[in-house]
Every structure is written in C-alpha cells, then in structure tokens.
Structure 1
Amino acid sequence: MSKALGFDLSTVEPEEGAPAPERVLEGDPRFLTWNLEDAGNGLYAGVWQSTPGTWRVSYDEWEYFSILEGHSILTEEGGQPVHLRAGDRMIIRPGFQGIWQVVETTRKDYVVRL
C-alpha cells in the first residue's frame, strides 16, 4: 500500500447529505462529500461540495480547508462575514459556531481532525 494518496475523486463514490433541517435558515442546500482519507484514527481528508443555501454550523473538530470554486460566506457568532472564493484557505477550531451561506455552489478540499 502506497504512503502517498492523490485527490482522485474517481476512486470514491460521493456521499450525499444536507444540514439537519433544524439548522437550515434559507434554501435547500445539498452536499456531496468525497472522503478520500479515513484511516480510523480521527483524521479525514477529501472534497466537499454544497449547493446554495444558509445554515447554522457548530464545529467540535479542527478543520483546514481550501476553496476550489464557488462563493460562500462564513460568519462566526459575534464576528464579521468572511467571503470565501477560489484560493481562499481557512482553519476552523473546535468550538466555532456561526452561519455558513453558500451563494454559488462551493467546492472545497479539507482535512479534519477529531
């Protein structure tokens, strides 16, 4: 088994999802997630995509992501909106609470650590 893993989405079937209905504030956002790394040790990596909509988010995990395409706005509770577009990167720490708004279908790659 190789110790290097490319982000080849053709090697995995995407999981479909959506935010919990009680978290949705606007629209009908739908997710596709290509989870490429799940070694069972609490570390995940892959690609996530969402259609437009707005919902409340609450992070228990640490996440790094890079926006690949689209436009989203992430607003931390009590903070200012941050517009995210292709090339933008961010780290979200455990305890983050706020609003995620997908303005244009957004795709990001991510690394999550539980």
Structure 2
Amino acid sequence: MRGDAFDPDCPTRLILDRIGDKWSVLVVLTLAGGPRRFTHLRDTIGGVTPKVLTQTLRAMERDGLLTRHVFAEVPPRVEYALTPLGLSLQRPIEAITEWAQENVGAVITARDHHDAAAAV
C-alpha cells in the first residue's frame, strides 16, 4: 500500500507527524548508535521530560520504529533499539539534521530581518 500525503484522510499524515516530531527525531539519532537505556536517552537528548520521553518511546514502539526489551534482572533493566523500519529513517533524519545545523544561522538571520521589517 502506498499512501498519499495530500489526502487529508490518508494515514500517511500520522506518520509524518511522528517523524516530524523533534523528540522522535532525536530518539532515532540517539538509537542509531545501538540499543540504549531510558536514562541514556534522556541525558543525551536533553530538555525532554521523562513523561514526554516515555510517551514518545511508546508511540514509536506502537508504530514499529523501535523495540523495548526488559531484562529479567533486579532491578529490571530496559533497553530500546531501532527496528529495521526505524533504522530506515536514520539516513533521511541525519540529512535533515545536517541541513538544520548548517543553516541555523541563515534561518535566524531571516527571522530577524522579517521581524524587524514587520515592526516598522
């Protein structure tokens, strides 16, 4: 099945929402290096609350982008890893991230010019 992102009733839009979410993007970038524990994800991503990270991880697991593995230890150890589907997002997300990092200065300058012109 191939979706149509321009059809308002197509589930493709739900997927675009997921992969367009900054927390999902940062989770993919972090897990591209291999399985990670929750605290590592939280500390690496920075600025995300545990509640939001938990919600993001659950949604990504539901979407088939990552797996959650609970180890039978005391205390329990949980690791998250990208699935093959999640790994297929790595290159596109890395490309967009690279573009953002290279162009952040130009975007901020454009915003400043726009805001200054609008204030006149």
TM-score range, shorter chain: under 0.3
Q: TM-score, normalised by structure 2?
A: 0.27
Q: RCO (CA 8 Å, sep 6+): is it higher in 1 or 2? A: 1
Bigger strand share = 1
Q: TM-score, normalised by structure 1?
A: 0.28
Higher helix share: 2
